[in-house]
């Protein structure tokens, strides 16, 4: 890229298009190839999916994988920060009514309460604190909102992020093993997806005004909570439950009726991808290992076969193929998470790492002055000049 190279020409057709394809900045953590999917600092995400989750977070923050000593030191730092969680902040959640609102509301409130209890103002320290404390926030949301807080086991931060969460929920043995395997894989796959996805962009926009990491991340979680974005994983499993059969003819009937009613087919389509999302393929492959005979997983496999050819009949749909949300719900269900409305919190938990890393990069840009406050231009329409008096 040279200073005067034209990257994009804007015409009227680009207005009100959700900024689709319009370059607005640079990103060091990841990029999304329309066919090959997301790469974290150059690595296709599939190459990283079986690593320790902390090493992938280190990669996003430092732009290289850690050596063994660095990996141990990073895990130790996270464990230490996880122990120092201001528990007073978590008491805010105790005052919410069990079962009220959506779990994503609780996640956003929980992040804000942690910021209210302790914000250092140092973007790295606040990011590391938030990443380290997310497992306990998640476990508390699950148990408090579910009405069984007495099941919460004391944290064991040395276990690592995912394992500590599963431990706090009170799960042991083979069930815990399966949860750890699937959640770690899910967690790594969802950590980052370029700079322009709605939640990351929203979080960075808020951060550009020099709001705190906590305020920025709560905003990002609110952005993620919409069904066209992160909540599509919930919506997709609810689809699967409504369909209730892997019979291709029944699925076709269902999909056509949803389209006729002008409702989205969740788990399909994307703003950038133009082929099946490799994360969808990876999750389906994991399903063939952990839950090959699960009924919902079988419906997902049928959806994957049946839906693209139906969506291709609608030329306006640019990507008729599965996205990341097609299969994650069926796997989460199979390992014991039976309530689809919690699924987006896992997506949000994972993305905290990517969004924090991107905010950190933006704050360090321009020799430490940070990215300027976001302020794109909107072209005024239907506003003739008016005055109250002649």
Residues that bind ligand NMX (CB under 6 A): 228-230, 232, 264-271, 316-319, 323-325
Element (H, E) at 134: helix 123-145
For the chain, the straight-line distance linking the first and the last C-alpha, in angstroms and rounded, comes to: 53
Smallest separation (angstroms) from ligand MLT to the CB of 276: 12
Which of 193, 231, 304, 363 binds ligand MLT (CB under 6 A)? It is 193
Of 20 and 210, CB closest to ligand NMX: 20
Position closest to ligand NMX via CB: 269
Q: Which of 39, 190, 270, 333 is catalytic?
A: 270
Q: Which stretch binds ligand MLT (CB under 6 A): 59-67, 76-84, 189-197, 203-211?
A: 189-197
- Which among 354, 330, 344, 351 has a CA at the least distance from the CA of 106? 344
Bridge partner residues of 322 (DSSP): 268
Which of 129, 157, 197, 246 binds ligand MLT (CB under 6 A)? It is 197
Question: Residues 194, 354: contact at Cβ < 8 Å?
Answer: no
14 given a catalytic annotation: no
Rounded distance between C-alpha atoms, residue 29 and residue 41, angstroms: 5
Instruction: Starting at the earlier edge strand, list the strands of the sheet with 37-40.
Output: 30-33, 37-40, 43-44
Q: Which stretch binds ligand MLT (CB under 6 A): 43-51, 163-171, 190-198, 367-375?
A: 190-198
Alpha carbon separation from 293 to 123, 302, 328 (Å, rounded): 45, 13, 16
271: contact with ligand MLT by CB under 6 A: yes
Q: Give residues 232-261 in contact with ligand MLT (rule: CB under 6 A).
A: none
Of 108 and 180, CB closest to ligand NMX: 108
193 given a catalytic annotation: no
Q: Which of 192, 229, 333, 361 is catalytic?
A: 229
Binding partner of residue 228 among ligand MLT, ligand NMX, none, CB under 5 to 8 Å per kind?
ligand NMX
Q: Which of 126, 192, 325, 361 is catalytic?
A: 325
Element (H, E) at 32: strand 30-33
The one-character DSSP state at 43 is E
194, two tokens: 């370029």
Smallest separation (angstroms) from ligand NMX to the CB of 316: 4
- Which among 151, 123, 347, 118 has a CA at the least distance from the CA of 232? 347
270 given a catalytic annotation: yes
Question: Residues 131, 57: contact at Cβ < 8 Å?
Answer: yes
Chain residues in the site for ligand MLT (CB under 6 A): 193-194, 197, 271-272, 323-324
Would you please indicate which residues are annotated as catalytic (active-site) residues?
229, 270, 325
């Amino acid at each position: 890229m040279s200073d005067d190279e034209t990257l994009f020409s804007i015409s009227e057709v680009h207005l009100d298009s959700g900024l689709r394809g319009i370059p607005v900045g640079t990103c060091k953590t990841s990029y999304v190839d329309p066919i090959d999917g997301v790469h974290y600092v150059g690595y296709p995400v599939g190459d990283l999916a079986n690593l320790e989750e902390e090493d992938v977070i280190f990669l996003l923050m430092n732009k290289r994988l850690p050596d063994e000593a660095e990996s141990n030191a990073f895990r130790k730092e996270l464990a230490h920060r996880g122990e120092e969680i201001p528990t007073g902040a978590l008491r805010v959640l105790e005052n919410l009514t069990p079962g009220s609102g959506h779990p994503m509301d609780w996640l956003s409130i929980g992040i804000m309460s942690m910021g209210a209890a302790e914000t250092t103002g140092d973007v790295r320290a606040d990011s590391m604190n938030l990443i380290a404390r997310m497992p306990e926030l998640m476990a508390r949301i699950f148990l408090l909102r579910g009405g069984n807080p007495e099941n919460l086991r004391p944290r064991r931060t040395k276990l690592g992020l995912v394992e500590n969460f599963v431990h706090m929920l009170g799960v042991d043995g083979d069930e815990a093993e399966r949860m750890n395997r699937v959640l770690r894989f899910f967690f790594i796959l969802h950590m980052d997806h370029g700079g322009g996805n709605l939640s990351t962009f929203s979080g960075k926009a808020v951060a550009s005004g020099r709001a705190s990491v906590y305020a920025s991340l709560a905003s990002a979680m609110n952005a993620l909570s919409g069904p066209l974005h992160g909540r599509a994983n919930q919506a997709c499993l609810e689809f699967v439950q409504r369909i209730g059969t892997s019979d291709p003819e029944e699925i076709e009937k269902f999909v056509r009726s949803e389209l006729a009613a002008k409702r989205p087919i969740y788990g399909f389509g994307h703003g950038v991808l133009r082929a099946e999302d490799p994360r969808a393929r990876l999750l389906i492959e994991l399903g063939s290992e952990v839950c090959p005979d699960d009924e919902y997983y079988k419906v997902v496999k049928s959806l994957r076969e049946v839906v693209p050819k139906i969506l291709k009949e609608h030329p306006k749909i640019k990507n008729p193929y599965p996205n990341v949300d097609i299969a994650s719900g069926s796997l989460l269900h199979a390992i014991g998470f039976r309530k689809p409305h919690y699924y987006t919190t896992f997506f949000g938990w994972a993305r905290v790492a990517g969004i924090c890393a991107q905010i950190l990069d933006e704050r360090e840009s321009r020799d430490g002055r940070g990215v300027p406050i976001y302020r794109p231009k909107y072209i005024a329409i239907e506003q003739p000049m008016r005055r109250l008096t002649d």
